[in-house]
Structure 1
Amino acid sequence: MNRSPQTRERRRNIADGALGLTRVSVAVYANLTDASGLPPYSVLDALRRYAEARDWTVRPGAILCDVGPASTPREERRVWPSLAQLIEDRQVSGLVVPTISHLASGPAAQDRWKNWQSQRGIFVVVLPDALTARTGS
């Protein structure tokens, strides 16, 4: 029987609730440059598939991509503030990203990122294979 994604999610939530399990909610995020030549949808899809393969819930509205240089501070990116708000509101407990440079470039920025991350108690999973994602697969 072919079930809709909503039906599968509802059944999973019922089963998890019966067992007293709490599902992990995550966001997927990438910051791509125009010059990368990578279609954002293929990178984000690879990140999403990785998360779902671990039975993590990718929150609706939490598949996000900024486009611009890695050196641009997160706070100055167009999409990052909405992701930061999901984290602040504890709607997600983790991030799935292609590399840490998508969150912070350079040692000083990475130190600030690690501090920000630890203050909020979130985890980050790095998936470099997402950057080799093929289109149409």
Structure 2
Amino acid sequence: MNDSRKGYGRVLVVDDDPDIRTVLAIGLSDAGYACEEASNGPDAIEMVKRNGYDVVFMDLLMPGLSGGETISMIKDISPKTAVVVISIVSDEESMRELFESGALVYIRKPFNMEEVVETANSLTRSKVPSP
């Protein structure tokens, strides 16, 4: 990957499936992002409170809080954090809930890692320091 496509920023990956978390975390780390993981909404909220992130990639279907509740709480804590939902859920009601809650982007599972990295790049591009 050339330097112009190299990622910059802190991301949090939230999914109850450890395999999906690992794939996303490795792919985003390889693209240059400082990446951390959480397995559910409540843990993600605590991590956002403590650490702050540029982007949160999260599933909608997890134990604990609903995806919409988790997104709303993340946005309340850190309004500038971009939330990207990566989920198999795509019904109209769920889509409305996630965007009303503050999600910016939806990526359908199964996802393409290149699309995930490009999404992270576009959401963090304005935060890249000048050379």
What is the TM-score normalised by the length of structure 1?
Answer: 0.43
